[in-house]
Amino acid sequence: MLNINPNPSDRKMKMYIVILGVILLIAGIGGAAYYGFVPRTRVYGAVGVAVVGIIVAALGAMMKTASVGATTTGQFACAKCGAKFGSEAALNQHTKDKHGM
C-alpha cells in the first residue's frame, strides 16, 4: 500500500511562504525594537516589515487551507481505479458508488 501525498511540492511551497512571513515578522519586530531606542522614522519601516510578515504568513496559511479544497482541482485520485476528481466529496461519492465503500 502506497500512501502518496497528492501534491507534496505544493504543500512544501506554502509552508515556505509561512516560514518566510514568520522570518519577516521576527525581523520587523527585532528592527522595531532596535530602532525603537532611536526616535526616527526608521522604526516605521521596521514595523512595516513586521506587518508585511504577518500578511505573508497569513496568506501562506490561507493558501495552505484553500489547497485542500478549491485550488486542487483534479488532485483527488481514486486509489482503486485512478479516476480523478475536483473535490474530496466527489471522490468519496465515486468510491461509494463504484466500489461500495
Shortest Å distance, C-beta 3 to Zn ion: 17
Helix or strand or coil: residue 54? helix
In sequence order, the 6+-apart residues with CB closer than 8 A to the CB of 79 are none
Interface stretch with Zn ion, choices 13-21, 43-51, 64-72, 74-82 (CB under 5 A): 74-82
| Strand ranges, E, within the chain | 76-77, 84-85
Task: Name the strand (E) or helix (H) holding 59.
Answer: helix 42-67
One of 51, 58, 62, 81 touching Zn ion (CB under 5 A): 81
One of 59, 78, 84, 87 touching Zn ion (CB under 5 A): 78
Interface stretch with Zn ion, choices 2-10, 19-27, 44-52, 91-99 (CB under 5 A): 91-99
In sequence order, the 6+-apart residues with CB closer than 8 A to the CB of 45 are 31, 35
Question: Is there binding between residue 96 and Zn ion (CB under 5 A)?
Answer: no
Residues in contact with Zn ion by CB under 5 A are 78, 80-81, 83, 98
